Chain A
Amino acid sequence: MGPTETLGIVFALAGSAALAWGGHALAQAADVRAFLWICAGALALRVSSRFVEEGR
């Protein structure tokens, strides 16, 4: 497994965690926190896909 693939997986996991925490904040009606975590999660998934493309 190459370094770009590893980083892709790491960022995918980080993005999943951020999205989950954002969902938890949303359930608690903390909308600003939820928005920031959801954005962070989406950006992490985007970075992950870029790393994956880089490794092709």
Chain B
Amino acid sequence: MSESAPERDRSLISRVSELGASAQASIPGLYAWGVTVASCAWARGVPWQTKVLAMMGPLVLLASVLIDKERPNVARQLSVWGLVVTSLIVWALVPTAAGPSRFDTTRGVLGMLGWAVFAFASAAPAFQRTEGEESRVVERGRLEPRQRGSRKDLPYLSVGIALTVALQCIGWGIEPRERALFVRLYTIVAGMAVLGSFASVALVKHLPPARKKRRARLAGWLLAFFVVAGLALGFELAP
């Protein structure tokens, strides 16, 4: 059944998807250019010709945005190859400015992230819904939960969380490092088990009664617990 989609608030995502692929990639491309290319081209001693060449990068991005609607394939090729080639030429012309002695770690990492986002946006832009997809979507309000929690669960969960946090305080500053790492891992796993146990105590009240009353084999588990606990106590108290 297709019905005309009601006028809806245009979210940021839907607005971005209306832009073409090149337009979406232009912002991260401009950022990557600014961090990694502009800082090299405007370094001291760089000739003006190199600066002009560096400016080709953002101009190419602007051109790709302008022609994106009419010729998206051309715009995409222009955006990707134009920015990359001009950037490479600038770096080749000013190798000292692009070297590790001038590039600190933070800027390098930020530049890498910018180029990665540019590549991702170029390769996988957000797409608008087609007319066929639009007819299958039924816009409704928020989904209501099938079940809601209860305030009476709060004390159980609070105790579970407190014990889990207390477990994380065990075993800091011990040597050697391998044991310290092992103890950290153990406390995380133990904390998860404790929290799960208290959560199940809290949640069991919300479950329907079991249809078949199964005789839980408590006796065996209880016996095992008392035996092991007795051994542990014996070890503890032994001189």
Using a CB–CB distance below 8 Å, which chain A residues touch chain B?
A: 5, 8-9, 11-12, 15-16, 18-20, 22-24, 26-27, 29, 32-33, 36-56
Give Cα A42–Cα B194 distance, bound, in whole angstroms.
9
Within the complex, the shortest CB–CB distance from A29 to chain B, in Å, comes to 7
Neighbouring A residues of B217 by C-beta, 8 Å: 50
Instruction: Give the number of residue pairs across the A-B interface with Cβ within 8 Å.
Output: 107
A-B contact pairs, 25 of them (CB 8 A): A9-B156, A9-B201, A11-B225, A12-B194, A15-B197, A16-B194, A19-B194, A22-B190, A23-B167, A23-B190, A26-B171, A27-B174, A33-B232, A33-B235, A36-B235, A37-B232, A38-B190, A39-B232, A41-B190, A42-B193, A44-B225, A45-B194, A46-B221, A47-B222, A56-B210
Shortest beta-carbon contacts, A-B, top 10? A27-B171, A36-B232, A43-B225, A40-B229, A23-B170, A19-B190, A12-B197, A54-B216, A40-B228, A56-B210
Interface size class of B (residues with CB under 8 A): 35 or more
A23 to chain B, nearest CB (A): 4
Asked whether B200 lies within 8 Å of A20 as measured between CB atoms, the reply is no
What residues of chain A lie closer than 8 Å to B120, measured between beta carbons?
A: none
Name B's A-contacting residues (CB within 8 A): 156, 163, 166-167, 170-171, 174, 179, 182-183, 186-187, 190, 193-194, 197-198, 200-201, 204, 207, 209-210, 214, 216-218, 221-222, 224-225, 228-229, 231-232, 235-236
